[in-house]
Amino acid sequence: MNPRLTQAQQRELSSQLGKVSLQLLYKASVHGYTAAAFHQRCDNQGPTLSVGYNNTGYVFGGYTSISFNQSGAWGNDAKAFLFTFNGANVLKYQVTNPAHAVLMHGTNGPYFGNNLGLCVNSNAVVFSNPSQNYYNFNAAGMHGDNLQLVECEVYKVEECKLLEKPWRNIDWTSENKTKLLVQIQTYKPTISSVSQIRVLLIGPVGAGKSSFFNSIKSIFRGRVTNQAMAGSSGTSLTTQFRTYHVKAGKEGKPLPIILCDTMGLEETTGAGLNVDDISSILRGHITDRYQFNSAVPLQPEAQGYQKSPGLQDRIHCVAYVIEANKISIMPSKLEDKLTDIRSKINLVGIPQLVLLTKVDEACPAVTEDLTSVYHSLYIKNKLQEASQRLGVPLSCVVPVKNYSQELELDQSCDILLLSAVNQMLCFAEDYFDDKFSDLEV
């Protein structure tokens, strides 16, 4: 579920409210153009921004600092306002009658002071009544007098507080970056039959699996690279099982880690990565460039099935790749798939961690300064939620920022990414110690 609001529009709206994060709660085209669907996802969520989109391109809506409910009463809110976009800028219309700022009614969606309603009486229309002067606005200027709604979204508004002391300690110096680079380049698995550990990346479409590999390669090449296909498509751009090797420099030796990329997970049955392929991947039966089939998992008699994989072919660590702002709104079917995958991984005792991506997009304070990531209470809460929903200890959840639109490397970004890789090496070592301590080292 991707927001229709652009990143620029989200930043502009957030700037009207201080340092806040916007989390998409409700999208009418996904959850239904009904008041019931709206209330199910948006009641008792605290401050929210409701956004309507009409068929002539207007983007407009309202903000309330109080929670939606179905009491049938008016909500008193002196902080409420209506808004519209004038190009890249937001025009605000403050509430003039706070006692009638928001109507809390079970048969309506967002309903602001008898002036603006989105999804009224479970109809996909805009209701606008400027004659009821609870907000001072001009209907033609706000939405062009066009009441044909094509989408409605509601975003939860959360304050991004920075704690005085970091909740995790990290060294952001160039010396630490160098130390991490050396640790990774010189690492050697304790099992003599394994020269490179294999890390399997699993996650929803668009979460940043391929981008993570591109980012790691960029660090060791000294420039931003884009080998693995990455983007923001609604379906998985990765259709093959890929094993990516990284060299230390253009002509350097391969690093002691192989990143294995899978097809993205999708909530729809028969789409995205087939969960039944996971066991074959974990045990090393699936080889590089195997073409995934969402409907049918790989069979032992199929061409390309590796029947007798060695320890070096197995997966030694699994990393779930999840967007920070999407952990709270993960669809139940997708969560069920991840639970099924986790149970398969637990059966073979492979250590698991979570890469929480796009932390810079999740929190404005982190957008301004990536080194504040461990001061952000919002990011801490997202890590805790990821820990609970994915069933891994909090110490196994690490925030990262992939390279996406940058043209130059950033030291803080590199340190977060390298710290994640170093954690993978440590987890793989734990796997060897636990499962293969009797093998030759």
Are the beta carbons of 39 and 68 closer than 8 angstroms? yes
Spatial contact of 77 and 97, defined as CB atoms under 8 Å apart: no
**Helical (H) or strand (E) element with 425:** helix 411-435
Query: What is the residue-wise DSSP string for 138-187?
Result: -HHHHHTT--BEEEEEEEEEEE--B-SS-SS----SHHHHHHHHHHHHH-
Mean pLDDT of the 169-178 span: 96
- How long, in residues, is the chain? 441
Domains contained in the chain, CATH given: 7-159 (no CATH), 174-435 (3.40.50.300)
Q: Residues 285-290: what's their mean pLDDT? A: 83
CA distance linking residue 1 with residue 22, whole number of Å: 14
Question: Interhelix angle for 209-221 vs 411-435, to 10°?
Answer: 110
Residue-level pLDDT at 79: 95
Q: pTM of the full predicted structure?
A: 0.80
What CA–CA distance (Å, rounded) separates 432 from 441?
10
pLDDT tens readout for residues 119-135? 887 777 777 777 777 99
Q: What is the pLDDT of residue 159?
A: 87
- Does the pLDDT value for residue 236 go beyond 90? no
Distance CA 150, CA 187 (A): 54
Mean pLDDT of 178-194: 92
User: pLDDT: is 51 or 136 the higher one?
Assistant: 51
Confidence band, pLDDT 50/70/90 cuts, at residue 427: very high
Work out the pLDDT band at 86, boundaries 50, 70, 90.
Answer: confident
Amino acid in position 35: A
Q: What is the pLDDT of residue 419?
A: 97
Q: Is the pLDDT of residue 176 over 90?
A: yes
Stretch among 68-82, 328-342, 348-362 having the lowest mean pLDDT: 328-342
Strand pairing report for 317-323 and 352-357: parallel
Q: At what angle do helices 377-390 and 332-348 cross, to 10 degrees?
A: 70
User: What is the reported pLDDT for 296?
Assistant: 75
Percentage of the chain modeled with pLDDT above 70: 94
- How far is the C-alpha of 380 from the C-alpha of 387, rounded, in Å? 11
| Model pLDDT, residue 270 | 63
Specify whether the CB–CB gap between 275 and 295 falls below 8 A: no
**What integer pLDDT is reported at residue 441 of this predicted model?**
39
Residue type present at position 374? Y
Q: Higher pLDDT residue, 256 or 240?
A: 256
Report H helices in 190-304: 209-221, 277-282
- Tens of pLDDT, residues 257-284: 999 988 888 777 666 677 888 888 999 8
Tokens of 360: 């810079």
10-34 pLDDT tens trace: 989 988 898 888 989 999 998 998 9
Band of residue 440 on the pLDDT scale cut at 50, 70, 90: very low
Given a cut of 80, is residue 231 above it in pLDDT? no
pLDDT number for residue 128: 78
Query: How does pLDDT run across 34-44, given as a tens digit for each residue?
Result: 999 999 999 99
Q: How far, in Å, are 248, 282, 283, 287 from residue 309 at the CA level?
A: 27, 10, 7, 10
Q: How confident is the model at residue 437 (pLDDT cuts 50, 70, 90)?
A: low
The pLDDT-based confidence of 70 (bands split at 50, 70, 90) is very high
Q: How far apart are CA 338 and CA 275, in angstroms?
A: 9
Average confidence score pLDDT of the chain: 88
The residue with tokens 């073409």 is: 291
